[in-house]
Structures are given as C-alpha cells and as structure tokens.
Amino acid sequence: MQGKTYISNRMFSAPSRRPAVGLEALGQGKSATGLILFATAFLLALSVLMVFSTTALSSREHFGNETAFLNRHLSQMLVGLLVCVAMSRVPVDVLRKCAPAFLVASAIMLLLTLVPGIGSRAGGAVRWLSLGPLRFQPGEIAKLSIVLYMATFIGRHSDAMSTFSKGIVTPLAITAVFACLFLLQPDFGSTSIVLIVVFCQLLLASRFLHLSSVGVVAVCALGVLIAVSPYRLRRFETFLDPFRDPSATGYQLVQSLIAVGSGGIGGEGLGAGKQKLFYLPAAHTDFIFAVIAEELGFLGACGVIALFLLLGAGGFAVARKHLDDPFRASLAVGLTALLVVPAMLNIAVVSGMLPTKGLVLPLVAYGGTAMAVNLAVVGILLSLSRERPL
C-alpha cells in the first residue's frame, strides 16, 4: 500500500510552489504552445519543399505536370490544417466521452481492411479502406483512438494503476488486440509504435517494476515474431548486412545509406539529390528523410531532428502543466509520443540503425491520412496547452 500511495502522489500531485525551471517553466504561459506551433510550422514548410523535390520528375513522367503530387499534397495538408484548427477548439472532455466509441470504430475499420473488395492491397499489405472515391488508412486513426482511450482509462482508474491488473494487464490486453489487428495486415511498424506509445503513457501511472518486467517479455516476443516469419527474418538479416544482397533484399536500405552519406555536411543542394531519381523507392514517403540528408546534408538532418525534439519539449511541457490531472497528463504524453516516436523510428530506419519497416516521417512525408491525423494530434495538444490546470 505504501508503494501505491507513493506512486500516485508522486506522479499526479499538484505542482509545487517553487520557482519554475526547465520544462516546468515551458509549461507556463504560452511557451509550450509557441514551441508546438513553431516546430509544426517549420516541419510543414519543409514538407512542401521536400515533397516537390522528390515527386517533380515522377509527376512529369506520369501526369505531364511537375506539380501533380505537390498539388495533391497541398490539398491534403489543407484538410489536415482544418482538422487541426477544429480539434484545437474541441474541449478534451468531449473527446474523453467519445473515446470508447472511437476505439470500437477503429477496431471495426481495421477488421474491414481484411475484407476482400473493401480492403485495398498495396505493397503486400492491406492497410487501406476503399469506400467509393474515399481511400484512407484506418491504422492511423486507430493509433490516435488508442492513445485517447488509454488516457481515459488511466484517468478513470488512477487510484488503482499501481496494481498489476489495472496498471498492466487490462491496458496491455486492449493494446494486444490492436497489435494483432495490425499484424494481420501486416503492419509491424504500427504495432511497434502503439506498444511504445502506450508504454510511455503507462510510465506516468503504473509501477516501473511491472512495466520493466512486461518489457522484457515483449522483447522476447518480438524476437519470436521475427524468427517465425520468413519475411521479417529476411528484413532483420538485411538490416545486419544490407550489402550482402544490394540489388534485391538490401536494395532499399543500401540506396538510403548512399543518399544519407552523399549529403556530407551541407548537402548537395535543394532539388539536386540523385537518389530520388528512380533509385530510392518511396522517396516521398518512407525514405523522405534520406533525401533531406542528401540535399540538405548533416546540418539539415540535424535541424529536422531538432524540430521534433522541440515538438517533444512542447508536448511534455503540456503534460507537466497537467500533472494533477491523470487523464490530461497521460493524453499529452501519448499525443507527444505519437509524433516523436515514429519520427525517431523512421530516422533510425533510414540511417540503418533499425530494420526497414513501413513508417513515414510525421508532418513531413507525403500521405493524406497520416497528415490529417498528425495535425489532429497537434490540435489536441494545442487545446490541452490552452486549458488552465485544475
């Protein structure tokens, strides 16, 4: 009982009256909002430049117009910005009430992707739903729904989160259901993101000993998943030695490493990259960071990483502001992780530090559903930032 009381008081007690420093200072006033807006605006501006740079030639080849992909991207970004503004105006308590419905709807949509004629296959995976002219990825929506529901769950059961059943078993059981739905597509990248993001949310409320024990089991399960799947095993072997088969299984990673290494310190210059010219697959989506590194160099790549770190600092400052409210604090942490974790994983994949998987760079890469959902995440963070702590 003493451990339970200690954790509850430590994580969700009201901030003390001592002078604010560091991230605590950022959580006061408009500093957190400013960081979020600053990082988001620069990432979106970079997105416009890099999507045009990576798609101009292919747009001309396929559509006779160098701006075809860019125009579509700008329209998707406009929709995302409208969603962002709308979500920034919605009280988070309204989202809290809708969280269970969102979760169920997301599960149904993920199941529908597996139905022939409704689910749309591309690149060996069925991650899209095609409903008439509308085509979208329900997995992106599901990630946000899981974060929202987990925050609601933590807020509702904050007094019991230090127990193993409430703090570990129940939330991870719900997460496991969605992990299985992702793996059926298959979408190993989204599975990894969801597990890491939920882990970040539970760090606020659950006992670290429980989480670390489950983490060890999860790592072992990950090894089993890789070992029993020839597809994943080949990807892992390619990760260990991509130059063993540079024209087949290692092609994507080898081309990415060539792009990253060719940039040097200052880069080849915006638009002057060569790997995007039909050498690097998915240059405008999964591997857009490689093109950034090639054209803007080490300094440009570091600038992108810095922007995501600023975005993370702003998001965690919002969480610090609401530490006395388990729901809002865990929601802010989950939303922040939903932007920063995929970015760091994508950068690690592009740089050869992790096996390749279908992950895009949030707020930068081409993609309508991901852009709309990521900007919705930004909008909810802004709504949380604007609220006064209880």
- Reported as a single tens digit per residue, the pLDDT across 130-141 is 777 778 899 999
The sheet with strand 134-136 has its strands ordered as 119-122, 125-131, 134-136
pLDDT category of residue 2 using cuts at 50, 70 and 90: very low
Which of 143-157, 159-173, 357-371, 372-386 is predicted least confidently? 159-173
pLDDT for res 16: 40
pLDDT for res 103: 96
Q: Are 96 and 106 in contact (CB under 8 A)?
A: no
- Give Cβ neighbours of residue 269 (< 8 Å, ≥ 6 apart): 295
Q: Is the pLDDT of residue 295 over 80?
A: yes
Task: Using a pLDDT cut of 70, give the percent of the chain over it.
Answer: 91
pLDDT category of residue 74 using cuts at 50, 70 and 90: very high
Which of 200-209, 266-275, 337-346 is predicted least confidently? 200-209
pLDDT for res 118: 81
Q: Are 188 and 42 in contact (CB under 8 A)?
A: no
**Which tokens in the block code for residue 272?**
């002057």
Average pLDDT over residues 273-288: 88
pLDDT for res 18: 38
Q: What is the pTM of this model?
A: 0.88
User: CA 83 to CA 165: how far, in whole Å?
Assistant: 36
Average pLDDT over residues 173-202: 90
pLDDT category of residue 20 using cuts at 50, 70 and 90: very low
pLDDT for res 17: 35
pLDDT for res 258: 92
Average pLDDT, the chain: 85
Long-range contacts from 97-103, C-beta under 8 angstroms, 24+ separation: 99/145, 99/148, 99/149, 99/151, 99/152, 100/149, 100/152, 102/144, 102/145, 102/148, 102/149, 103/145, 103/146, 103/148, 103/149, 103/174
pLDDT for res 304: 97
Q: Are 79 and 368 in contact (CB under 8 A)?
A: yes
pLDDT for res 305: 97
pLDDT for res 98: 95
pLDDT category of residue 22 using cuts at 50, 70 and 90: very low
pLDDT for res 124: 65
pLDDT for res 152: 95
pLDDT for res 134: 79
Q: Is the pLDDT of residue 343 over 90?
A: yes
- Give Cβ neighbours of residue 123 (< 8 Å, ≥ 6 apart): 358
Q: Are 89 and 385 in contact (CB under 8 A)?
A: no
pLDDT for res 70: 94
